[in-house]
Structure 1
Amino acid sequence: MAVPEALTAIPGLRTAAQLREPGPDVLTVLPELARLLPGGGLRRGSTVAVRGARSLVLALLAAATRNGSWAAVAALPDLGLAAAAELGVDLERVALVPNPGTELVAVLSALVDGFDLVVLGPASVSPQTARRLADRVRNRGTVLLTAGAWPGADLELKVSGRRWHGLTQDGHGHLRARDVVATSRGRGAAARSSSVGLLLPGPDGTVTGGGPRERRLVEVAG
């Protein structure tokens, strides 16, 4: 399928042939997130569904874009660019397609052909379409991250136990950090679930890991 004309002008867009050139099989993630992923990073050719926190989707882009990978984000018209930058995402390496409309599948296919990582906002696709796109992702060596469920995803990350810090008992103060538990489970090497505690975001807007005691110390220090 030809790449839509609107996408050919995006700086950094790579051809399918370039994406198939030899390169690392795993894209780097922030150290705090490495324990959630088989091999400690995002495996090229995989689909990863993230449920419960859009901020985790953005955090997964941070290290890869800072290390030179290109990412595209589709169907997230209300994406918070300031929050993404605070989480460490290099915005100069991110292309946005806020409203692909009825051409979602065609646009997504083109993005998979041209970028290292593709983020898809909440969208409903049939299992058959999901399989076709997953095959394309696998063949191109791209990573597809979905903000929500995805039929047949290789890995699912789920955020639970969300608790904000910063408000006093009478409701005054400022929201400063959010305590969460992130759990991963998938197929193959990811069949055994793994969980980590995180501040997502931490007091400075970044991701902070560690156990409950360390997280409390970070929160107080912030």
Structure 2
Amino acid sequence: MESTRVDTEGLPTAEALAPLLPGGAIRVGGSYSVHESVLLAMTMLQAASAAGAWCAVVGVPSFGVEAAAAAGIDLERLVLVPDPGDQWLTVTAALADVAQIVLTRPLGRVVPGDVSRLSARLRQRGGALVALGSWPGADVSLRVTRSEWSGIGDGHGFLTERRVTVSASGRAGAGRPVDADLLLPAADGTVRAAVPTAAASGPGRTTPVLRPVAVAS
């Protein structure tokens, strides 16, 4: 596993997320918090996985392999531990030794000492952590602040794509939050930057009405 690690000071991330991250990449030794959206967290892994990095997912049973493959994640370099129980932090720390990006869902209280030890291990091994939920001292926290689906008319039709605004904030509120409009997902299942509404309409084109729909992210 170690022979396939990506040796770089910054791990690549999806082009759509680059404007939300300092330097446009995932910092080696860094930690990132993604609130509520499994698809957004999955997108954090995609580019590094495509570049040959090992990825691990701990405590996220809704992380589906079919969706991961469709997102471009290399399943041959993906370790899944859907139900680590109360050993989730131990499992996360162990996988930080062999995977360059570890996605974990915190299932209990995380104390500063645990965060410091895990951060030191990530720096030593050249990895990074993505937490699905809150994480103390996260370099960047990503949160979907606005969500609209398109494709449903007056009570009929099919959902086609979801336009969201993702807000990124730094440690302890340092600096102003940065926002980006994304298609999460687009109609073809990919995640990419959303074209501004005016540009998408263009002369003689009609902008589709986006209606809020309460569905799982």
- Which amino acid is 2:117 matched to? R
1:67 alignment counterpart? 51
Q: CA RMSD in A?
A: 2.4
Residue 115 (1) aligns with residue 76 (2) = no
The separation in 1 between residues aligned to 2:143 and 2:201, in whole angstroms, is: 22
Per-residue CA deviations over 1:114-173 (Å, capped at 9, x if unaligned) read: 111000024223223233322322332211001111111121111121111111122x11
In the alignment, structure 2 segments of 5+ residues that lack a partner are 209-217
Residue 146 (1) aligns with residue 131 (2) = yes
Displacement over 3 Å in runs of 4+: 214-217
Residue 184 (1) aligns with residue 175 (2) = no
User: Percent of pairs identical after alignment?
Assistant: 37
The separation in 1 between residues aligned to 2:17 and 2:49, in whole angstroms, is: 15
- Count of residue correspondences: 201
1:126 alignment counterpart? 110
* Contact 1:47/1:137 (<8 A) preserved: no
- Which amino acid is 2:135 matched to? W
Matches within 5 A, 1:1-222: 12=1, 14=2, 23-128=7-112, 129-170=114-155, 172-187=156-171, 191-213=175-197
In the alignment, structure 1 segments of 5+ residues that lack a partner are 1-11
Q: Under a length normalisation based on structure 2, what TM-score does the superposition of the two structures give? A: 0.83
The separation in 1 between residues aligned to 2:163 and 2:132, in whole angstroms, is: 19
Q: Sort the Cα spacing of 1:216 and 1:106 in 2 relative to 1 into closer, same or farther, 3 A.
A: farther
Q: How many angstroms does 1:27 deviate by? A: 0.9
Per-residue CA deviations over 1:77-126 (Å, capped at 9, x if unaligned) read: 22122222222222222111111123222211111111110000242232
Q: How many angstroms does 1:215 deviate by? A: 5.9
The separation in 1 between residues aligned to 2:11 and 2:19, in whole angstroms, is: 14
Q: Under a length normalisation based on structure 1, what TM-score does the superposition of the two structures give? A: 0.81
Q: Sort the Cα spacing of 1:82 and 1:211 in 2 relative to 1 into closer, same or farther, 3 A.
A: same
